Amino acid sequence: MRRGRGHGGGGVSASLAALLCCGCVMVLAGAAAAQGPWLPYAYKTLSGDAPRVVAKGGFSGVFPDSSSDAYSFTLMASAAGTTLWCDVQLTKDGVGVCLRDINMDNCTNVAQAYPARKRTYVIDGVRKNGWFALDFTKDELQSVILTQAIWSRTYSFDSVGYSILSVTDLLSIVKQPSVWLNVQHDTFYKEHGLNMRNYIFSIQKRVSVDYISSPELGFLQNISGTVRGKTKLVFSFLDKSLLDHSINRTYGSLLSNLTLIKSIAFGIMVPKTYIWPVTKDNYLQPSTSIVAEAHNAGLEIYASDFANDRIIPYNYSYDPLAEYLNFISDGGFSVDGVLSEHPFTASEAIGCLASLNSSKTDHGEPLVISHNGASGDYPDCTDLAYHSAINDGADVIDCPVQVTSDGVLMCMSSINLLDTTNVQGTTFSSRSSVVPEIQATAGIFTFNLTWDDINSSTLKPKISSPVSDYYLVRNPRYTNQGKFLKLSDFLAIGMDTDLSGVMIIIENAAFVAKSLGIDIVDSVNAALSAAGYDNQTTKQVLIQSKDSAVLVKLKQQKTKCKLVYTLPLGIGDASTSSLEAMKNFANAVVVDRKSVFTLSRAFAIRQNSLVKHLQSAGLAVYAQVFRNEFVSQPLDFFADETVEINYYVQSFNLSGIITDFPKTVRRYKKMPDYMQSIDVGSLYQLLQPFKAQPPSLPPMPTLNASSVEEPPLPPVASRKRDLLRYTNTRLPSLAMGVGIGMFVLLLVLAAIFATKRLKIRKARKMREKFFKRNRGLLLRQLVDKDIAERMIFSLEELEKATNKFDEARILGGGGHGTVYKGILSNQRVVAIKVSRLVVQREIDEFINEVAILSQINHRNVVKLFGCCLETEVPLLVYEFVPNGTLYDHLHVDNPQRPLTWKDRLRIASEVASSLAYLHSAASTSVVHRDIKTSNILLDDRLTAKVSDFGASRGIAIDQSGVTTGIQGTFGYLDPEYYYTRRLTDKSDVYSYGVMLVELLTRTKIMYISPEGVSLVAHFVTSLDQGELNEILDEQVIEEGEEEGKQVAEIAAMCLRMKGEDRPTMRSVEMRLQGLLGSEINTSVIGEGHVNGLNGLTFQGGNANAGDNYCSRRYSIEEEILVSASLER
């Protein structure tokens, strides 16, 4: 067993001492500590002092909670006087230790150190299974190390080997800290013969404790007479509906009796939603009066639950600093302190930003340049995005210029409307085309539509979601809001507002000249002139392009505009020849922000020389694109976008910052004193002694002159070509004129006939080519080669079946394809799936689906009749399932046939049966990989049919899983698979658990609870706290409450974070069939059942599976599922 590295303070964090320091934070720290007149802001706290920063478990947003380095780094990186928080748990021998959760499995490796010592306890009325400190002595815990409790955070520091600290250890490794002890479960420890009161009293004789908090008011009352006068008691509120078991009152009732609390405690701590409530769709509601009420009662009030890498209300635009400021200044009140897992950001907000004034915007460098307007909050390049950018303090707004089919210049972030609008769901979706000069796949481009088409009510903008892979979306209430703008409208906005200037982005100029007959450079110049930019000197015009030929032409025209060259992505340096080439046509360059350092697994491992060499050549440097979402930043910046911005400004003296969120950059520019920059690569270096650093990578490529220099733009093609033209030739007679006319007509008819013949021949050859290629791909995957011949449909047959794919035959579809209703020649009704995208991945998925479904025969799996291989992406022919999807029945208002509880239970059982068959009864185990309610079809009897096997993966019978890329739908995706890339059948079990939650709650997976957590986390927490009825669908409660609770327990077991702790789908199927009271069919494998199920137990992969949930793992009540054999 690896031993902990002891608790010598700051083995890692000592090396971080020079990492981070904020001048204004340090000024605040000294002032706050002295409580003198140096405070930068008149805070509305109870005392008038700056709010206190309380570091939950130290800097637990980076290091394992309550580790020595988490505490040491807090004191180095945050304001002096920051208070260190310790959640106190008691060991068997009565020693208080700092542990994030009462169940040690949530934050340590105890399950590996002591696998046989798992226990079950009832805590606050809820059964919890796991490993608990009271079952171990302090010496025994020396073999246990702390681990990161939040799965989305890096686990690299787990390898350091941090020992569990006692309270006295904490006080010995950090000198003269301010300490806050939180006692969460005094009643529990008292029930098991341990006395928290006596422990607190004993340590107070040896060390100084500034704060003691507890959610048990009875405990605080019990110790109030024994604590020293300096120690402040704070009562912690939990959810309003929960019970404080020490006095048998709900927290909601105590909220209205602050006078009682004041008689015992000095202050209160409340979840931040007590102060700023949040709607179900994650927007702020008006603040409550609780801060004023607490202050009026003479109580300090602290807000909890702050962390930078957590989904916060959309009002904050993913900016954690904006959230802190709303609690300390911007909301019109100040809490007396904040409990944070990222204490540096809290210190930054309190010390550097609370005193900012709203003076006139300073247009000095670095310029704040919008990226498609304020696209972090509104759809790209719309009036809303531009006006928001201006209001948020942008110096420059940008317009990527695109061209419509009628020659109108407009602002659009992409030439492909599929990227930026809802065009796919409109009547314009038929106008797709493939333009190799722009992209290899089909698109619907701005030049496929007129300006009137684009500006019509049919087409709507679509907000960008650059990190949607992480299930982070932007401002959903405004997803399709705003109006598109012509370039002329954009330029008018720029002229009429307080801006430093405008940036015009020109791309695809060669294609536009050659294929559309438009000189976009001259057209932009004409628009600038018409808008009055030629006759003024106050507004700067920047023209940006990645095409050097555009900038060369403007240089030759002696333009007054500033010319900005966009460097390619993924370069780390620029050669001397490329620098000289760029200086010939550009005044400035735009670099990708990730080109300035080399990244490995989100760690910055070294700083590159690119920016230094660009600036040495005399080129101004702008960096793009800065985003607030915490997943977009390297770990070195602590999920704080302001720290990242500061690094670029301080390290490189940038001329401009291009951002989706201008407000964040503007606020940084207003700071009275900038922070010192972090040392990029430090975190990576700190892990090297422990061999825990991510792999090193070779230097990034160097830009060469050949990549910069381009041929001149081609001449502009004629936009109109006349096929026939009358001339002044004298005709000898009318007959000759008629004869010539007839001759021309015959020529035209012959040309049409020949062209048609050529098209038919070409189409036939293409069909033969696609058939040969797709048949080869299919044969390589099929076990039974004859299947490939028996399942083939011709394209002609399917065109007849769908009336040439008539729009009236469309049944539905998603992002990848459209499904048509077809009637074959034998009158069989089928569903035909047609891909919308022609990319290799689509081809592979369609072939994969044929290969998988051709080997499956189960009544609850949609039947594949065959496929057509004569198209670039094969067409799939399925049985027709007439009743839509399970998603439709659950989430569409007033469905034609509402699902009863018995229907839902039966559907759950049928889906479980199909998955059990796929996992264990098929010749090769098949993992579906995309189980969700929209992939469960229902027939006319509401029988479930699992569909869409494009992402499925076969796993050999002798393998437990495979390591592969991530596929699936976020929200349903197994987190263990996501973080480890290890795909097993238990990945389907997790997705199935999410589906059960939807069945039980009739709530969409996108739901965010008022506490800011996902539907799954909210569901499991409700179950764990005995509040299941609050989240269950009313129909479930009315028709089958007891069965619903049992299904909820099954769902929670499926949702365990460790795959090995989840049940098998066979076990789930048997339990659900038991609830249905139906006879188990054990006759044929093809129907998804196996023989020999006597003495059934509900088994997972691990008999000692952990099943608790805090922030890392879900907590559920374990139970025996089947105590007697079921009827056969």
Structure tokens at 392: 């948020």
Higher pLDDT, 1012 or 293: 293
Question: What's the pLDDT band for 1117 if we cut at 50, 70, 90?
Answer: very low
Higher pLDDT, 445 or 1041: 445
How many domains are contained in the chain? 3
Report the SS3 class of residue 121.
strand
1013 and 1074 belong to one structural domain: yes
List, for residues 143-178, the tens digit of each pLDDT value: 999 999 887 788 889 888 999 999 999 888 777 678
Task: Please determine, for residue 706, whether its predicted confidence score (pLDDT) is greater than 50.
Answer: yes
CATH code (residue 141):
3.20.20.190
Mean pLDDT of 8-26: 44
821 labeled binding residue: no
List, for residues 675-703, the tens digit of each pLDDT value: 777 777 778 777 777 766 677 778 889 99
Task: Please determine, for residue 786, whether its predicted confidence score (pLDDT) is greater than 50.
Answer: no
Pairing status of strand 367-370 against strand 656-659:
parallel
Task: Please determine, for residue 1091, whether its predicted confidence score (pLDDT) is greater than 60.
Answer: no
Question: What's the pLDDT band for 963 if we cut at 50, 70, 90?
Answer: confident
694 in any annotated domain: no
Higher pLDDT, 863 or 857: 863
927 and 1070 belong to one structural domain: yes
Structure tokens at 64: 């394992």
Which range has the worst mean pLDDT, 378-382, 385-389, 433-437, 934-938?
433-437
Report the alpha-carbon distance of residue 1114 to residue 278 in Å, rounded: 23
Q: What pTM value is reported for the model? A: 0.71
**Cβ 575 vs Cβ 702: under 8 Å:** yes
List, for residues 526-558, the tens digit of each pLDDT value: 999 999 999 898 999 999 999 999 999 999 999
Report the alpha-carbon distance of residue 175 to residue 168 in Å, rounded: 12
Mean pLDDT of 447-463: 95
Q: Which of 135-149, 202-216, 421-435 reaches the highest mean pLDDT?
A: 135-149
**Cβ 89 vs Cβ 192: under 8 Å:** no
Q: Please say which residue of 333, 353, 373 terminates a domain.
A: 353
552 in any annotated domain: no
Report the alpha-carbon distance of residue 367 to residue 1064 in Å, rounded: 57
515 in any annotated domain: no
Pairing status of strand 562-566 against strand 588-592:
parallel
Q: Please say which residue of 309, 325, 353 terminates a domain.
A: 353
- The confidence score (pLDDT) of residue 1093 equals 26
- The confidence score (pLDDT) of residue 1053 equals 93
- The confidence score (pLDDT) of residue 618 equals 96
**Cβ 1101 vs Cβ 1056: under 8 Å:** no
Share of the chain above pLDDT 90, in %: 55
Neighbours of 318 (CB within 10 A): 28
Name the region of 427 (left: φ>0; alpha: ψ -120 to 50; beta: rest): alpha
Neighbours of 227 (CB within 10 A): 16
- Side chain identity at 89, as an amino acid letter? Q
CATH code (residue 771):
3.30.200.20
992 and 1115 belong to one structural domain: yes
Higher pLDDT, 725 or 747: 747
Task: Please determine, for residue 37, whether its predicted confidence score (pLDDT) is greater than 60.
Answer: no
- The confidence score (pLDDT) of residue 1024 equals 84
Higher pLDDT, 69 or 864: 69
- Side chain identity at 517, as an amino acid letter? G
Pairing status of strand 875-879 against strand 864-868:
antiparallel
Pairing status of strand 211-214 against strand 249-250:
unpaired
- The confidence score (pLDDT) of residue 673 equals 64
List, for residues 1049-1058, the tens digit of each pLDDT value: 999 999 998 8
841 and 939 belong to one structural domain: no
331 in any annotated domain: yes
- The confidence score (pLDDT) of residue 754 equals 59
Higher pLDDT, 220 or 923: 220
Domain residues for the domain of 238 are 13-353
Task: Please determine, for residue 837, whether its predicted confidence score (pLDDT) is greater than 70.
Answer: no
Mean pLDDT of 813-841: 75
List, for residues 589-603, the tens digit of each pLDDT value: 999 999 998 888 778
Question: What's the pLDDT band for 949 if we cut at 50, 70, 90?
Answer: confident
Neighbours of 690 (CB within 10 A): 16
51 and 112 belong to one structural domain: yes
List, for residues 629-662, the tens digit of each pLDDT value: 998 889 899 999 999 999 999 999 999 999 999 9
Burial of 960 from C-beta contacts in 10 A (0-12 / 13-18 / 19+)? middle
Share of the chain above pLDDT 70, in %: 81
Task: Please determine, for residue 951, whether its predicted confidence score (pLDDT) is greater than 60.
Answer: yes
Burial of 457 from C-beta contacts in 10 A (0-12 / 13-18 / 19+)? exposed
In the block, residue with structure tokens 């012959």? 750
149 and 123 belong to one structural domain: yes
| Residues designated as active site | 930
List, for residues 291-321, the tens digit of each pLDDT value: 999 999 999 999 999 999 988 999 999 999 9
663 in any annotated domain: no
858 and 931 belong to one structural domain: no
165 and 28 belong to one structural domain: yes
Question: What's the pLDDT band for 914 if we cut at 50, 70, 90?
Answer: very high
Structure tokens at 1002: 């009739």
819 and 778 belong to one structural domain: yes
Report the alpha-carbon distance of residue 396 to residue 412 in Å, rounded: 17
Q: Say how many Å lie between the first and final Cα of the chain, rounded.
A: 48
243 and 304 belong to one structural domain: yes
Sign of the dihedral through C-alpha 75, 78, 82, 83? negative
Residue in 453, 401, 412, 411 with CA at minimum distance from that of residue 431: 453
Report the SS3 class of residue 834.
strand
Q: Please say which residue of 300, 320, 353 terminates a domain.
A: 353
Mean pLDDT of 604-610: 89
Mean pLDDT of 114-143: 92
> Residue 292 belongs to what H/E stretch?
helix 290-296
Mean pLDDT of 604-629: 94
Question: What's the pLDDT band for 816 if we cut at 50, 70, 90?
Answer: low
Average pLDDT, the chain: 83
941 and 1043 belong to one structural domain: yes
Task: Please determine, for residue 733, whether its predicted confidence score (pLDDT) is greater than 60.
Answer: no
Task: Please determine, for residue 364, whether its predicted confidence score (pLDDT) is greater than 50.
Answer: yes
Q: What is the DSSP string of 735-795?
A: HHHHHHHHHHHHHHHHHHHHHHHHHHHHHHHHHHHHHHHHHHHHHHH-SSTHHHHHTB--H
Report the alpha-carbon distance of residue 592 to residue 626 in Å, rounded: 9
Vertex 986: Cα angle to 984 and 988 (nearest 5)? 95
Mean pLDDT of 1078-1102: 32
CATH code (residue 937):
1.10.510.10
**Cβ 578 vs Cβ 707: under 8 Å:** yes
**Cβ 68 vs Cβ 16: under 8 Å:** no
Axis crossing angle, helix 985-1001 with helix 1065-1076, rounded to the nearest 10: 30
Question: What's the pLDDT band for 507 if we cut at 50, 70, 90?
Answer: very high
List, for residues 256-277, the tens digit of each pLDDT value: 999 999 999 999 999 999 999 9
768 and 893 belong to one structural domain: no
431 in any annotated domain: no
